[in-house]
């Protein structure tokens, strides 16, 4: 798995005339090696895979990292002056690619200290590989989704007259770790009543509002892969007007799901949901994109939006999350994670989306 990914990077290095590629983004390092630590650099050449990290992570390297890598201790050592000259293929390394999107100006200045080396910016080389998930990755995502659904159900048990948005957010954190998650895709969004009209409301100390939408957007990390799910439920009661809006959002999500297939553009899938919502009289009330890629990071390529020009391909995993937001009143969003398959799409979520009243 890792060898195949690295060989594809090496092919691109050869095409671009690079002697080495320096990978510094931790999600990309995980993808190429299996490492989950917080400090490392991967240096790939045509003949070697060098893994640079300090003494704190040497044992973790031995436990996690694919055995095709050679550990290089970078404790107290400078990359250009100390580390590069010590490598077995140092003399063949003249032109080094670096991840431009993840390099700070300060870091780049530290690298440009030798006139014999040329550091060349690259954009999205590893991310381009990550767009298409293999079946093992899809199973890891499925497990993350399943755990996320379990956390959701367990967390709803605390809902009652004294519960606040913050209480529910804290319960989600607690249940996620208790049930086996290694972290969170993002801080949960718990938005009740008027707060739910803000797509990224976060959470507050406000109590849950009876008879109004309660939007719960949450995700966990399991074995390095993220999940992302939104469910809007109603506390105590659901008035008829909100029930109508809820069913419209649900239909938009389902229609978009049915339209997902290889060869479609992201913007075409977005338009399926958006056109339905707008024609129902809610133009301007659904302004974010329909979805985004999910994988090692919770926001990846491709995008399902009005700007989504990328063609969908089998193995892509995207969110499907239409919404309607009425400022000062509330909002409704429903979100599942979907795999693009050869003949359509597969929903990774099993948790039902029928209108639900809790509490």
- Identify the domain boundary among 89, 107, 130: 130
* pLDDT at residue 84, rounded to an integer: 93
Is residue 351 domain-shared with residue 211, that is, in the same domain? yes
- pLDDT above 70 coverage of the chain, percent: 99
| Residue 208 shares a structural domain with residue 115 | no
Domain of 252, CATH number, reads 3.90.230.10
- The pairing of beta strand 118-122 with beta strand 95-99: parallel
In angstroms, the CA 215 to CA 201 distance is 10
Say yes or no: 90 and 144 in one domain.
no
**Across the beta sheet with 213-218, what order do the strands follow?**
189-192, 213-218, 229-235, 357-358
Model confidence over 242-276: pLDDT tens digits? Answer: 999 999 999 999 999 999 999 999 999 999 999 99
As for how many domains the chain has, the answer is 2
67 & 199 share domain: no
Is the overall model pTM greater than 0.85, yes or no?
A: yes
Residue after which a domain boundary falls, among 130, 154, 178? 130
120 shares its domain with 235: no
Decide if 68 contacts 48 (C-beta within 8 A): no
Query: Are residue 12 and residue 79 in the same domain, yes or no?
Result: yes
So what's the pLDDT on residue 116? 83
Report the C-alpha dihedral over residues 338, 261, 302, 270, rounded to 10 degrees. Answer: -90
CA 22 and chain centroid, separation: 23
243: tokens are: 């029930």
| Cα within 13 Å of Cα(319), Cβ side | 31
pLDDT at 109: 77
pLDDT (tens digit, 9 = 90+) per residue, 328-351? 999 999 999 999 999 999 999 999
Same domain for 173 and 39, yes or no, is no
DSSP conformational letter for 281? I
**Per-residue pLDDT at 310:** 97
Same domain, 112 and 160: no
Do 93 and 193 belong together in one domain? no
Whether residues 268 and 174 fall in one domain: yes
What pLDDT score does 108 carry?
Answer: 75
What are residue 189's DSSP bridge partners? Answer: 217
Opening angle at CA 128, ends 122 and 130, nearest 5: 130
**How is residue 152 written in tokens?**
């959701």
Of 99, 130, 161, which marks where a domain is finished?
130
Query: And the tokens for 151?
Result: 């956390």
Give pLDDT, residue 20. Answer: 97
Residue 15 is part of which domain span?
2-130
Placement of tokens 């008829």 in the chain:
240
Domain identity same for 331 and 259: yes
Note the pLDDT of residue 105.
Answer: 73
CATH number of the domain residue 6 falls in: 3.40.350.10
Whether residue 98 is found in the same domain as residue 176 = no
Instruction: Give the residue ranges of the chain where pLDDT is below 70.
Output: 113-115
Residue 278 is predicted with a pLDDT of: 98
pLDDT score recorded for residue 106: 81
């Amino acid at each position: 798995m890792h060898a195949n990914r690295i060989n594809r990077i090496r092919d691109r290095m050869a095409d671009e005339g690079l002697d080495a590629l320096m990978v510094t983004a931790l999600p990309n390092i995980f993808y190429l090696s299996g490492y989950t630590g917080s400090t490392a650099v991967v240096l790939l050449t045509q003949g070697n895979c060098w893994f640079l990290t300090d003494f704190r992570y040497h044992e973790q390297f031995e436990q996690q990292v694919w055995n095709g890598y050679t550990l290089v201790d970078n404790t107290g050592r400078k990359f250009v002056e100390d580390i590069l000259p010590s490598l077995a293929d140092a003399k063949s390394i003249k032109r080094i690619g670096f991840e431009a999107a993840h390099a700070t100006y300060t870091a780049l200045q530290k690298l440009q200290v030798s006139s014999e080396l040329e550091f060349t910016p690259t954009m999205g080389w590893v991310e381009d590989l990550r767009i298409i998930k293999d079946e093992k990755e899809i199973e890891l995502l499925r497990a993350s989704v399943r755990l996320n659904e379990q956390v959701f159900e367990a967390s709803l048990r605390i809902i009652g007259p004294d519960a606040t948005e913050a209480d529910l957010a804290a319960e989600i954190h607690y249940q996620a770790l208790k049930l086996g998650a290694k972290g969170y895709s993002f801080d949960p969004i718990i938005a009740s009543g008027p707060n739910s009209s803000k797509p990224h409301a976060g959470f507050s100390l406000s109590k849950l509002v009876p008879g109004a939408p309660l939007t719960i957007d949450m995700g966990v990390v399991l074995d390095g892969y993220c999940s992302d799910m939104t469910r809007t439920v109603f506390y105590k009661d659901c008035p008829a007007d909100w029930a109508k809006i809820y069913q419209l959002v649900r239909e938009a999500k389902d229609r978009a799901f049915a339209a997902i297939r290889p060869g479609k553009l992201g913007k075409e899938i977005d338009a399926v949901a958006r056109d339905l919502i707008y024609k129902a009289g809610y133009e301007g009330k659904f302004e974010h994109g329909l979805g985004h890629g999910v994988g090692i990071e919770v926001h990846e390529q491709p995008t399902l939006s009005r700007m989504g020009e990328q063609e969908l391909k089998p193995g892509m995993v995207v969110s499907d999350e239409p919404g309607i937001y009425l400022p000062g009143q509330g909002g409704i969003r429903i979100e599942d994670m979907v795999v693009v398959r050869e003949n359509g799409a597969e929903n990774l979520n099993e948790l039902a989306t029928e209108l639900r009243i809790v509490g």
